[in-house]
Amino acid sequence: MEAQQQGWQGRLQALGPGILMATAAIGGSHLVASTQAGALFGWQLVWLIVLVNILKYPFFRFGVQYTLERNESLLEGYQRKGKAYFYSFIVLMIIAAVVNTAGVLLLTASLLQYALPGNVSITLLCWVVLAACLLILLLGHYRALDAVSKIIMLVLTVTTLIAVAIAWQNGAQAPPDYIGPSPWTLAGMGFLVALMGWMPAPIEISAISSLWLKEKQRHVQITRSQGLFDFNLGYWLTAGLALMFLSLGALVQYGNEQPIAVAGGAFAQQLMNMYVSTIGSWSRPLVALVAFLCMFGTTITVLDGYARSLHASFTQLGWIASTAPLNYWLLVQAACGMALILFFKSALAPMLTFAMTLAFLTTPVFAWLNYSLMQGTNGIALSLPLKLLSWIGLCYLTGFALLFLVFIF
């Protein structure tokens, strides 16, 4: 019994990188895209969300397993694999860091604007949110990020489950004879690709999780079983929340006469109204706070994760000293994201769509790269089911990416 208690105590102490991955994922792909999937198409895309989460599982897991067993990050593996892969990854990270920072920051500010009385400038709120995130990261670094993410995920999970239970009890709002649009059209292809690109998260998050794990290991000794427990908990919690948000969209907004907003900021307000109409008007302040914390958690993890990844990449290339502080990268990334909002706010929606599409098209490449690192010289032993799932996932992701390119060109 004592050994069992120590085992669970060790697992709880090791929690962190997997929860951070979940916190980073719930912003664009869950709070917005999953709910829009339910609001626009009802239950038609449930199987797609389940399938994508299952088929991407091995490639996110490999980022954690590689670090646990090789004691080095995925980035070091990428560099060893070849310069072309490593430089391609860096380019992807630079684009994603700037565009994703601007996107999640603007959406977080939109939620805050909805919660505050009066008509506060969205630009001012972007500055406020950015300053708060930087303050936490610059003063507390990983420990503060670790603690904040756990609180946010706990509150978000509980309140979302309550909202779904009440919505299910109230029943679907769509008329019984309502026939919604089909997502399986050329016009819907862009939405499907964007949804899958960020479901459960962009593929580069696997490398960021690897860096978070290395940072966690500086503070706590983590065994293989503890690290995989943390990853599995965060990953499948992310998948479950994606289905919860789709359920809310399908139960409350699907079949509604009000047109579903596609833009993130406008949809954020519809999302708040959806929660309130489900739980009750008394819950408006609570719901606004929870949704804001959800996006705030995503913003802070995006800032830390991409800055940490770029810092490690340029250090490995020898372009900066290994002693160069992470804070500089945080400030540069924050400044670039804010500049994008100030000068290209009207074009941010297509930029985000581009980033999500790019994430999907590059997923097969980096998924294969993660798998190949596990199969290289002195490869890490993988179970037969995990190998089969990896190959099925690679075939599916590659095939769908090629199909999308054929439709586009």
pLDDT digits (tens, 9 = 90+) for 26-39: 876 777 788 889 98
Q: How many CA atoms lie within 13 A of 215 on its CB side?
A: 22
Alpha helices in 171-223 (DSSP H): 186-197, 205-219
Q: pLDDT tens digit string along 94-133?
A: 988 888 898 888 888 888 887 777 788 888 999 999 999 9
Better-predicted residue by pLDDT, 12 or 125: 125
Q: Could you tell me if 105 and 352 are in contact, meaning their C-beta atoms sit under 8 angstroms apart?
A: no
- Mean pLDDT is lowest, of 5-9, 131-135, 398-402, for 5-9
Please compute the mean of the pLDDT values over residues 38-51 and round it to a whole number.
Answer: 92
Least confident range of 71-80, 177-186, 318-327, 359-368: 318-327
Prior bond of 200 cis (ω within 30°)? yes
**Amino acid 24: pLDDT:** 84
The CATH number of the structural domain formed by 12-408 is 1.20.1740.10
Least confidently predicted of 227-231, 309-313, 359-363: 359-363
Give the pLDDT band of residue 294 (cuts 50, 70, 90).
Answer: confident
Q: In degrees rounded to 5, what are phi and psi of residue 182?
A: -95, 135
Alpha helices in 222-377 (DSSP H): 224-248, 264-279, 284-317, 326-344, 348-375
Q: Mean of the pLDDT values across residues 156-162?
A: 83
CA distance 207 to 74: 5
List the structure tokens of 340. Answer: 């994008």
Instruction: Find all residues with CB under 8 Å of 3, minimum gap 6, and list them.
Output: none
218-274, pLDDT tens digit by residue? 888 888 889 999 999 999 999 999 999 899 888 888 887 766 666 556 666 777 776
User: Is the pLDDT confidence value at 327 over 70?
Assistant: yes
Pick the closest to residue 64 from 224, 239, 297 (CA basis).
224
Give the DSSP H/E element, type plus range, for residue 19. helix 17-25
In eight-state DSSP terms, residue 345 is: G
Q: How confident is the model at residue 279 (pLDDT cuts 50, 70, 90)?
A: low
Tokens found for residue 214: 């290395």
- Assess contact for 264 and 356: CB atoms under 8 A: no
Please give the angle made by the CA atoms of 245, 249 and 253, to the nearest 5 degrees.
Answer: 160
Residue 12 has pLDDT above 80, yes or no: no
CB-CB contact of 211 with 312 (8 Å): yes
Task: Flag whether pLDDT at 2 surpasses 70.
Answer: no
pLDDT the model gives residue 191: 83
Q: Which of 4-13, 52-61, 372-381 has the lowest mean pLDDT?
A: 4-13
Q: Which has the minimum average pLDDT: 2-11, 94-103, 120-129, 368-377?
A: 2-11
> What percentage of residues in the chain have a pLDDT greater than 90?
28
User: Model's pTM, two decimal places?
Assistant: 0.89
Q: What is the pLDDT of residues 139-152, one digit of tens each?
A: 877 778 788 888 88
Per-position b or e across 191-209, b if 16+ CB within 10 A of its CB: bbbbbbbbbbbbbbbbbbb
Q: Provide the pLDDT confidence category of residue 179 given band limits of 50, 70 and 90.
A: confident
User: CA–CA separation, 91 vs 204, rounded Å?
Assistant: 11
Q: Domain map of the chain by residue range?
A: 12-408
The proportion of the chain whose per-residue pLDDT surpasses 70, expressed as a percent, equals 90
Q: Residue 397: which pLDDT band, with cuts at 50, 70 and 90?
A: confident
Question: 171: Cβ–Cβ under 8 A, 6 or more apart, which residues?
Answer: 251
CB atoms within 10 A of CB 328: 12
For 219, 329, 354, 400, 403, the CA distances from 406, given in Å and listed in that order, are 48, 38, 17, 10, 5
Residues 229, 223: Cα–Cα separation, whole Å: 10
